[in-house]
Structure 1
């Protein structure tokens, strides 16, 4: 089967429109020359764009009719590029730090967790409508010390208005591919179970839900959150000189629980979240607890969420979501293993005026993308706006592809 896949890779050719302009390169800090991950690259005054990867690398297939491309990141001055002047070559883009982005502490009489509650409520209301997200999705699965699976694809999420707190999505998988270790014996295991059959902890049907529910963040708005966390509010400027506010989340050193640490950046004018960057506090990982769930036990060792939005021309637009879940599962003699799933979801286009839904027979209903396997008509990871693999991720994928 693997030889058939490799043969297909050799036969499938690039299917690019001759007029398509490819804009690709690496974004770095002008002073330090360090990579700038999660920078926004998008058509000016448009919902179409991509984001740079962990190495600052991006690749954007500019849609026909676009005239200007903006590259921006909070804390840096925005750069503007004329599409007519973009050449088909890799370029190095140096962003200059914005001196106006220096942070100042805000003193407020209102509890910060209540401020956050109001921001989240308004953000949710902004997105409570029929929405279509055109996305690139990918996921790695790691079992013990081995990466065992990789899948990616071009997916359209049709998100319906909320019914209470429940998010409903309908998915169309336009292109996909999947790789896995061919031999179950290649995966280190401590139990008897065939771990090569395990796909993912993430449900692809809910991959976009976090944009609309702010999972893991909602719990920080409760009054009892003050028992576990210290909150600090600061002001700064974005790349356009607009005022931003940042809520810093700091776990109390005295609390012996597994807690989050990070920050949430929001637009105080429109009262919407722009950036969420949280993870499990390293200093509190020692306090993780084993949870008994019916016939098995599991321990969560790490949670990481990176989530970004744009506010353009009156539209509140989900942009990027990265999720990591690292846990240990104990199930009798069958499983006693550490497993990790890491996913990236990049919104390449956004429509909040959806009048039609996908045909029922085309809706993807499976829980994970791996079940769709090798199902593509073009090398979509090369011919569409996606999120380039970092050097480390590319090495991992090459290892899986060589099996």
Structure 2
């Protein structure tokens, strides 16, 4: 079955490269002309998804005539015809966020509203489902790039939203770098096995529902969008908070009661506390942030993308090191159809760290996430290190 899947993928990918045209979009803020990161570009004809990088760049593959829908929670939706595109195209997006902060007064405490949003979102996730995901990860040791991996993965989710099982099948993958410098599951790598727990059960938000969180955080709900029924819930640590906490921002559709985005960042103010309260930082975290986007598409609701970064000090092989990991995942295609596979074909590991390279095509060129010139340079250097 694995061979059949591989042959089918090679055939379909070769068709894409031989028949499809590649176009590059640069998505900018209409007012500031700054790049728009995390904009979703959907090829409506094929339901292929792409995500803009930090430079606002998207490289898409088009076969025949189709419209492209460009969406972002902060901007108005824009639709363009593929036939109008040139080799390089600048797309300007107009902001749809409220110019003035309007605090929403609610009868319930926002913490109870968050609990309702989490429960309702979990109940409405489309199940069963199959997500074709592109995953990319960079790792630095002592502020120098030391390792890279990426891969095309299939996440097949079965069961029900409350008790979901995720089987992962690897189509292609590659990794480069000095692997011998860091050994062990806790030293490197994003835990792919946690996608259901973290993204489909909102595990990372659970502690915000506790009694202590009500004391340590200020919960504020504000209006967010002029064109969508979106509110934003800001959950900010108070000055008296006794833990090392991120600032949380949750964008949600208040009519459908579904979570659209979750992001967090460890603020400079919180990091400044570390010198006064060293017990708050046992792992000596220097940077931490993540952003998760969920897609509402007609009657379907599912995980779309995540971007996580963490920098901390820890011992590797008993030697103190500074470790920085950045990981991005983007769903490039979504389906409710199953495909069959054997149990021994399921990926049992946590990361792509020790998986042998399996490259059939230049899959990264149609990955859904365009690499910047800087990232391409880093990948090339790391590939040379591994030779």
Match of residue 363 from structure 1: 346
1:147 aligns with 2:145: yes
Tell me the equivalent position of 1:337: 321
Aligned residues: 369
Shift of 1:113: 1.1
SS in 2 for 1:217: helix
Q: Mark the CA change 1:99 to 1:268 in structure 2 (over 3 Å): closer, same or farther.
A: closer
What is the correspondence of 1:382-393 to structure 2 with a 5 Å cutoff? 382=365, 384-393=366-375
Distance 1:208 1:61, change over 3 A: farther
Which residue number corresponds to residue 301 of structure 2? 316
After TM superposition, the structure 1 = structure 2 runs for residues 17-166 of structure 1, keeping only pairs within 5 Å, are: 17-44=17-44, 47-62=47-62, 64=63, 67-87=66-86, 89-98=87-96, 103-127=101-125, 129-162=127-160
Instruction: Give the stretch that moved more between structures: 195-204 or 362-371.
Output: 195-204
Q: CA deviation at 1:251?
A: 1.1
SS in 1 for 2:353: helix
Cα offset, 1:357, TM superposition: 4.2
- SS in structure 2 opposite 1:364? coil
Q: Is the 1:175–1:376 Cα contact (8 Å) retained in structure 2?
A: yes
Secondary structure of 1:53's match?
coil
Match of 1:244 in 2: 230
Q: Secondary structure at the match of 1:125?
A: helix
Cα RMSD (Å) = 2.8
Q: With structure 1 as the length reference, what TM-score do the two structures score?
A: 0.82
CA distance in 2, matches of 1:180, 1:364: 22
Measured in 1, the distance between the counterparts of 2:14 and 2:337 equals 31
CA contact (8 A) 1:102 1:237 kept: no
Structure 2 residue 195 is matched with structure 1 residue 180: no
- Once the 2 structures are TM-superposed, how far is the Cα of residue 148 of structure 1 from its aligned partner? 1.1
Please give the per-residue CA displacement for 1:253-286, whole angstroms capped at 9, x wherever unaligned: 2224211113110001111110111022221123
1:17 is displaced (CA, Å) by: 4.2
- Measure the CA separation in 1 of the matches of 2:205 and 2:70: 28
Pick closer, same or farther for the CA change 1:329–1:75 going to 2, 3 Å. Answer: closer
Within 5 Å, which residues of 2 pair with 1:247-396? Answer: 247-285=233-271, 286-287=273-274, 298-330=283-315, 334-351=318-335, 353-382=336-365, 384-396=366-378
Q: Secondary structure at the match of 1:378?
A: coil
Q: Distance in 2 between matches of 1:97 and 1:291?
A: 38
Which residue does 2:6 correspond to in 1? none
Question: TM-score, normalised on structure 2?
Answer: 0.86
Structure 2: 5+ residue runs without aligned partners? 1-12
